[in-house]
Structure 1
Amino acid sequence: MDTNTNQKDELAVVEYVRDLKGFYSHLTNYLVVIIILFLINLLTDSSYIWAIWPALGWGIGVLNHAAHVYEWFNWFNERWEKKQIEKRLGRRL
């Protein structure tokens, strides 16, 4: 393996770890804020659970972030990018 390949691999791993860190931070913020909202909701007026709405809305964002980081739907991966670049250049890379 040459050093250029090693550097690319290292950069890819560093980027992934940063994405993972960002997701964990997002998830932690979500959990803390949603727990606080539910506590406020239950302590002030437990007849209507309104805290479910921000939990669902923000939860969709957290799931989207997880799908991106863990590549659950890998439609726009490196292979797709390379194919698009080759198509626009009119030649193979």
Structure 2
Amino acid sequence: MGDGAPALLIVLITILFPPVGVAMVSGCGADLFINIALTILGYFPGHIHAFYIEYVYFDRRERARNGELTGEPAPGVYSDRVQSGGLRQQGYGTL
């Protein structure tokens, strides 16, 4: 499978049930709970939020691989995993 296959799979899952796609990208956190609430309020707002979270994640992942990632956080995204593009950040206990 190429690099685009996981993204396509996540998009297909998000079309059916947006919170599952967000959970796959951001994990269990504020972004997931916001998406569940938006999906309960209406199917369309849940999709908009889910696709935004996924766009930020895949865009940041590609920019981080190219060394172009800036330190500015994306607005409305609360997951560090999404903000960093899924790449490990230096944190507590790392050398």
* TM value normalised by structure 2: 0.34
* TM value normalised by structure 1: 0.34
Larger helix share, 1 or 2: 1
**Rg larger in 1 or in 2?**
1
